[in-house]
Structure 1
Amino acid sequence: MKVWMAALICLLFVPALLILYVSVEMLLDTNNEFDRTVMNVQLYVGPSTRSVTGLWKPMPKKGVAFYKRNRPGVQQFQKSEKSRDAQFAEQKAGVQSKQDISIEMNKKHPSNSSYYTGQPGEKLVKIPFFVDSRDPDGPGEGGEAVQVNVSQLSSEEKARYDEGWRHNSFNQYVSDMISVHRSLPDAWSPECKKRNFRTDLPETSVIIIFHNEAWSVLLRSVHSVLSRTPTHLLREVILVDDFSTMDHLKRPLDEYWKDNPRVKIVRAQKREGLTRARLLGYNVATAPLLVFFDSHIECYPGWYEPLADRITTNPTVIAYPSIEVIDDNTLHTIPNHNVDVKGVFRWGDLSFAYAPLTDDERRARTSPSDPINSPTMPGGLFAVDRDFFTKLGTYDPGLAYWGGENLELSFKAWMCNGSVELIPCSHVGHIFRKSNPIKWMTYLGVTNVARVAAVWMDKYANYFLERNVFKVGDYGDVSERQRLRESLHCKSFDWFMKNISHMKDPYVEVVHAGELICKASGLCLDSLAHNHGQPLLYTCHKLGGNQFWYISRDGQVFQDNLKVCSRSQTDVIIDSNCRDTWNLTQDEQLLNIPTNRCLEGGATTGKANDQRAVTLQPCDPDNPRQKWKTTPRRTDVDFPRYS
């Protein structure tokens, strides 16, 4: 009997003592991040026993509390009100916005926390800090800007602020303050609200590629898709992890999404790069309509229906939304209700650029909500019919990392009996970074576009090559892609140029191509890639780029879509819309026709800035600062072939 009584006492009181021990440990250290207390205690006792968390209710006392969540095995970590208030006061110091986003320090924020989760018997997983609330007055709601006065941050918070910028090239600190469910304003213009979209829209697979993405930004991207896509039309969201190395994108991400059957995670076994990672997503997608997104986006309300409507009407259309800027510092975003641009490309590096619609294109539109024929697309956000994407040969698997895939798909669509359209009624925000935190091999983007040029651009490929011949290198075997083009009976690139792009034919108009060297100083004219800025003289670097100029037969001095023009009788400007003409005289001068003055490099003063200045001055055939060395257009450039 004594043995039986002793066993009963142990059975009843040992679990109670264990729970009491955990409680005391928590109360002794309210600032503990849960590591010492929870991770060293076996929470799972037996196969039929729920986790300790499932047995506890929220503790009424201040201190660390467990909160019962909607499934067993999940512990939500909460600091005491005092420590939480201190945390928010420190983090939100100096925060300003167009809206009142001051934090009520006496108000509980149970959603603003890290928490631990895991299956019984497994090591718990810490879910990183994020804001899960749906407070309409919270920071960044409605797409509003969040400003941080960095000077008021503590040294610890300043270090976290700097680390976010270093890892992401955007303000992760601000992103972490904004709910992953934040609201965005109504994006539809009055014309879009009048349109009647089809009701027989297809289901979609949304494919999002990420590599070492910030936690709050990735979650906000996915939640915006989940909450702003009609439930019956969203078959799945496929997250493709391109071999991330950050811990929060491993088990924590799996645990966070494991109870949502529509979110699937595909993990690359090695670094694939954007293009090949998208193909991994394509291979597991099951819906008839595919949407490809970057991992730092936010869908506006009503983003999906206009895209799906257009593709359902014409499955050979590749459709992309109006891409709204999410500021990389404040995360401010606002929709553009007057979309009147199209996608083009720069000849120098075959990169994407926006260009205004021509007068004829504007007149052809009956409404601002009409789709816009776009010669190219940016590539980070678009929708496509799965069968049509397959017919086009998907992506060229020889394209490494990223770069060129958007042009390849654009050229294929137009030349192989399809089209690319910008859909003004669809709006998706995108964080545009000033630099890419992810490093890759030098000139890899140039090698990619060289593959595209070799397959699709015919004789026009030389226009790209003459500026990049030293960068191209071995772009690999393209014979399979050339056979694909033949099998699809695609049109020529000359047809694309004359019927879709309407860009200048470089082989007809350009007579000089290369550097413009001021003979007095030996320095090169450099645009600095500044639209509406002033060109300057810089040491010639022989790399083309901003120092590579074209002089056309009709007197245009230009660089892709940037032209050299007069702003006054003396000032010179780089502008995409001006139409000044120039005359290259027998005295090697560049005569500006509107002002009847000549381009002059440098000045007589000894100031360094003046020596780099470029102005218009009265023409003097004996002035060496007005003499420019130009390069006649090469006709012997031949695109290299590799097998």
Structure 2
Amino acid sequence: MYVAVAMRLWKMTRGIPRWALACCFTLLGLIMYYHHATNSRVGSPKVELRSSVSNSGPPQLTREGNSETVLSQVRYDVTNLLARVDMLSRARKKCEQENGESTKPSTNSGRGQGTNLEHRSEQLMLGSNNAPKSFPLNNTFTKTQNQRAKPKSSEDHTVRSSLQETLTFIAKGERNTPKVPIKSQDTQFLPTVHIKPPSDPNSPGENGAAVHLRDLTEAEKNLRNELLEKYGLDEFVSRKISLHRTLPYSRPESCRTQTYLSNLPTVSIIVVLHNEAVSVLKRTLHSILDNTPSALLQEVLLIDDFSNNVDLGWDLEDYISRLPRIRLVRSRRREGLTRARIRAAHVASGAVLVFLDSHVECNTGWLEPLVDRIARDRKTVVSPGIDWIHGDTFGLDYGTFTHRVTWGWSLGFGFDYAHDQRWVKLPAHEQVKPVRTPMLLGGLFAIDREFFRELGMYDPRLEYWGGEHFEISFKVWMCGGSIETLACSRVGHVWGSRKTYSTGNKTLDYWTQRNNMRVAEVWMDSYKEHFYIRQPHLRKRTFGDISERRRLRERLQCRDFRWYLDNAYPDLYIPDDIPGHYGQVRNNGTDTCLDWASRRDRVLKLFPCHHHLGNQFFELNRQNQLRDEHSCLHVRASGNDVMVVPCGRSKNEPPPLQQWTFTDGGFLYNAARNKCLHAVPPSPRATGKVTMMPCDLSNLQKWTIEYIWDKM
């Protein structure tokens, strides 16, 4: 009504009267805002900090301006909140005396006399002229699109009880102040946040055992398939497993004698979820609380990135409200992994940030080694040793092969299995030492909070999922830090059959490739050309504005990418990529291509040419090796077999059995055996393969190396 009157007066006036009217309305608006701010305290930095978590932007508390004023205001707010809690407590006691009833809230979603009594006590408190007005706590949570509304009284109770627990924690001054050296024990290092209940050794999945369900009814089979399609892992099996299950002791035995600093910094654990399976998520949270020292854990920030599963609605909020130190924050729109983590990092209060996926299981003593390493060197970013939990059975395998994470020029990640074979043979005292790794497996790592902010956190324009592990890895190494994996820290990761994230009108692969392009353009210098040669379809795509990220790199004075290759990943093969000598290798006689698909069998085979490079991409380099980034074609010293063998980055002359001459006639000739590469055509019972035969100039020995994308 007021807006309509104002617009009408505006149209009726001209010139100086119109501007005088505008000044009056402006002055009136300022007076109303001042009155509102005075009564509701919306201008409080503390309130702005909390409410901004669920808004579209990060909190605006920065280091600019008068920091003492901001700090004093925050201290005033905390003191004021504590006073309100004390006043509320006294008001509730007064109600008890008047009514002779218990003021404990009802467990039935806020219904009953307990809630009414709480409402009366709050009225008594707010009735005082000197008491500050209540600010809307329910803004901390937002409803998602498929969730039904919940009675307001229950919502208020859930959020208020969570606030009271937090304020009680602050009032008691519970902080990380261990005064004696921490020495690891067989089961627990320090008192954990939650005492794990006794486990039943005969329950499904206990001690990391795989679960195989049999004799299911038709309805159970249908439900199991439905959940598998929905989540990409067997949620039906997961529901049979205890939320507090015990995992096998997967650390090296020498970890039992490790000692840590006596005054380790506090930790904020950040878990981002989107449409996660509920039982898997709950097991993640309980594994954190059951295995994390109370003195170290400041908070667990659970960021719901706009999930639309009904299972993750009010029931989840009610469940989490009964768990200590967990804060659930909901995004108002789909943000993606990186922006959700950025928002959480802005409000996190722990000195160390630990990022975890929402489908992990922390094992005994997982946190202390990570925090101790960062306490000794704040620019060291550390990852736990990752054990493998199968998404179909939830059985756990000890993941020694995950200690060193590698990558290839298509920007896909892998694991260094050769390092694993060397590591298991090390003496016990050597296995506890940190393992330097060229990159992080981005879902699980710990980093100093201030160092993370100094690095510019993540690129906020990385969409949905993918590419963030490359960006943080390149940035840490090139800008003054290092990355290590700690075998004494063990976390199990559930590996599903596929990702089930919602990604708008594009596929997850599309966004991953776009994110990788942004990383390559900012951090890889001229070496990005090797990426585009293996992903030629990306040359025509856009990747958005990257000028701010390039300025960040200049401001941080980061080293170049060649330094990273020489110091962080010295064994990565750097391709020559000579035009005409890379692409698919097609046999003229069978019209099939060499394929790496059977690399683990160490036998090279022939498959129909699919023209998408990938497993059919080869390079004939200046050292006359026919290879990809990890393996080379190798002729046996006796017999006619052609093997696939690992070969890294070396300046030495390769063995003669790995040297090939590509003749003008299209023959791949090995001088050490004086034979040519020969194609064996496929049969109804077997795929095609290659062998060595005396050169006979037949089409089965003629090959074409073609970069098929040049013809498209």
The alignment partner of 1:269 has SS state of coil
Alignment partner, residue 306 of structure 2: 243
Determine the C-alpha separation between the residues in 1 that align with 2:549 and 2:232: 35
Determine the C-alpha separation between the residues in 1 that align with 2:335 and 2:598: 31
Aligned 8 A contact 2:254 2:428 in 1: no
Aligned 8 A contact 2:352 2:448 in 1: yes
The alignment partner of 1:275 has SS state of helix
Deviation, 1:561, is: 1.9
Determine the C-alpha separation between the residues in 1 that align with 2:218 and 2:602: 39
Deviation, 1:284, is: 2.3
Determine the C-alpha separation between the residues in 1 that align with 2:154 and 2:429: 62
Deviation, 1:293, is: 0.7
Deviates more, 1:196-205 or 1:516-525: 516-525
Task: Say yes or no: does 1:521 pair with 2:521.
Answer: no
Determine the C-alpha separation between the residues in 2 that align with 1:270 and 1:564: 50
The alignment partner of 1:537 has SS state of strand
Alignment of 1:171-250 (within 5 A): 171-250=234-313
Paired letter, 2:587: C
Alignment partner, residue 658 of structure 2: 581
Deviation, 1:509, is: 7.8
Task: Say yes or no: does 1:348 pair with 2:410.
Answer: yes
Compared with structure 1, are the counterparts of its residues 265 and 120 closer, same or farther at alpha carbon in structure 2 (3 Å cutoff)?
Answer: closer
Aligned 8 A contact 1:569 1:595 in 2: no
The alignment partner of 2:261 has SS state of coil
Determine the C-alpha separation between the residues in 1 that align with 2:459 and 2:417: 26
Deviation, 1:268, is: 1.4
Q: C-alpha offsets along residues 199-250 of structure 1, whole Å, 9 cap, x if unaligned?
A: 2111111111111111110000010011101011111111111111111101
Alignment partner, residue 641 of structure 1: none
Structure 2 gaps of 5+ residues are 1-94, 110-149, 158-195, 649-654
Determine the C-alpha separation between the residues in 2 that align with 1:360 and 1:574: 20
Alignment partner, residue 554 of structure 1: 623
Q: Could you tell me which of 657, 662, 669 is aligned with 1:591?
A: 669
Deviation, 1:272, is: 1.6
Alignment of 1:82-481 (within 5 A): 134-149=199-214, 152-336=215-399, 341-357=403-419, 367-438=430-501, 440=503, 441-442=506-507, 443-472=510-539, 473-481=541-549
Determine the C-alpha separation between the residues in 2 that align with 1:513 and 1:293: 39
Q: Which structure features the higher share of strand residues?
A: 1
Q: C-alpha offsets along residues 406-454 of structure 1, whole Å, 9 cap, x if unaligned?
A: 1111111111110011111111000112322335424221111111111
Compared with structure 1, are the counterparts of its residues 194 and 138 closer, same or farther at alpha carbon in structure 2 (3 Å cutoff)?
Answer: same
Q: Could you tell me which of 687, 690, 709 is aligned with 1:615?
A: 690
Paired letter, 1:600: H
Aligned 8 A contact 1:132 1:180 in 2: no
The alignment partner of 1:367 has SS state of helix
Q: Percent identity?
A: 34
Determine the C-alpha separation between the residues in 2 that align with 1:504 and 1:469: 21
Determine the C-alpha separation between the residues in 1 that align with 2:401 and 2:612: 35
Q: Could you tell me which of 552, 560, 564 is aligned with 1:492?
A: 560
The alignment partner of 1:516 has SS state of strand
Q: C-alpha offsets along residues 27-54 of structure 1, whole Å, 9 cap, x if unaligned?
A: xxxxxxxxxxxxxxxxxxxxx99xxxx9
CA RMSD of aligned residues (A): 3.4
Aligned 8 A contact 1:133 1:179 in 2: no
Deviation, 1:498, is: 1.4
Determine the C-alpha separation between the residues in 2 that align with 1:197 and 1:145: 34
Aligned 8 A contact 1:339 1:424 in 2: no
Compared with structure 1, are the counterparts of its residues 458 and 165 closer, same or farther at alpha carbon in structure 2 (3 Å cutoff)?
Answer: same
Aligned 8 A contact 1:290 1:385 in 2: yes
Q: Which structure features the higher share of helix residues?
A: 2
Paired letter, 2:248: P
Deviation, 1:368, is: 0.9
Determine the C-alpha separation between the residues in 1 that align with 2:587 and 2:151: 72
Q: TM-score, normalised by structure 1?
A: 0.74
Paired letter, 2:639: Q
Alignment of 1:51-90 (within 5 A): 72-74=106-108
Paired letter, 1:462: E
Paired letter, 2:303: V
Compared with structure 1, are the counterparts of its residues 435 and 592 closer, same or farther at alpha carbon in structure 2 (3 Å cutoff)?
Answer: farther
Aligned 8 A contact 1:376 1:407 in 2: yes
Task: Say yes or no: does 1:539 pair with 2:602.
Answer: no
Q: C-alpha offsets along residues 245-282 of structure 1, whole Å, 9 cap, x if unaligned?
A: 11110101100011334111111111122222212222
Determine the C-alpha separation between the residues in 2 that align with 1:529 and 1:451: 32
Compared with structure 1, are the counterparts of its residues 154 and 133 closer, same or farther at alpha carbon in structure 2 (3 Å cutoff)?
Answer: farther
Aligned 8 A contact 2:479 2:556 in 1: yes
Deviates more, 1:272-281 or 1:502-511: 502-511
Aligned 8 A contact 1:146 1:330 in 2: yes
Determine the C-alpha separation between the residues in 1 that align with 2:428 and 2:544: 42
Determine the C-alpha separation between the residues in 1 that align with 2:347 and 2:155: 30
Aligned 8 A contact 1:346 1:560 in 2: yes
Determine the C-alpha separation between the residues in 2 that align with 1:451 and 1:333: 35
Aligned 8 A contact 1:352 1:376 in 2: no
Compared with structure 1, are the counterparts of its residues 328 and 266 closer, same or farther at alpha carbon in structure 2 (3 Å cutoff)?
Answer: same
Aligned 8 A contact 1:310 1:319 in 2: yes
Aligned 8 A contact 1:375 1:500 in 2: yes
Compared with structure 1, are the counterparts of its residues 510 and 332 closer, same or farther at alpha carbon in structure 2 (3 Å cutoff)?
Answer: farther
Aligned 8 A contact 1:341 1:356 in 2: no
Determine the C-alpha separation between the residues in 1 that align with 2:287 and 2:701: 57
Task: Say yes or no: does 1:600 pair with 2:678.
Answer: yes
The alignment partner of 1:515 has SS state of strand
Paired letter, 2:408: R
Compared with structure 1, are the counterparts of its residues 245 and 132 closer, same or farther at alpha carbon in structure 2 (3 Å cutoff)?
Answer: farther
Structure 1 gaps of 5+ residues are 1-47, 56-69, 76-117, 126-130, 637-643
Structure 1 segments, 4+ long, off by >6 Å, are: 118-121, 358-366
Deviation, 1:144, is: 1.4
Alignment partner, residue 81 of structure 1: none
Compared with structure 1, are the counterparts of its residues 234 and 425 closer, same or farther at alpha carbon in structure 2 (3 Å cutoff)?
Answer: same
Determine the C-alpha separation between the residues in 2 that align with 1:360 and 1:260: 42
Paired letter, 1:177: K
Paired letter, 1:476: G
Determine the C-alpha separation between the residues in 2 that align with 1:237 and 1:311: 19
Q: Could you tell me which of 692, 695, 705 is aligned with 1:630?
A: 705
Deviation, 1:609, is: 5.5
Aligned 8 A contact 1:145 1:331 in 2: yes
Q: TM-score, normalised by structure 2?
A: 0.67
Deviates more, 1:252-261 or 1:322-331: 252-261
Deviation, 1:517, is: 1.1
Compared with structure 1, are the counterparts of its residues 593 and 225 closer, same or farther at alpha carbon in structure 2 (3 Å cutoff)?
Answer: farther
Alignment partner, residue 569 of structure 1: 639
Aligned 8 A contact 1:589 1:598 in 2: yes
The alignment partner of 1:180 has SS state of coil
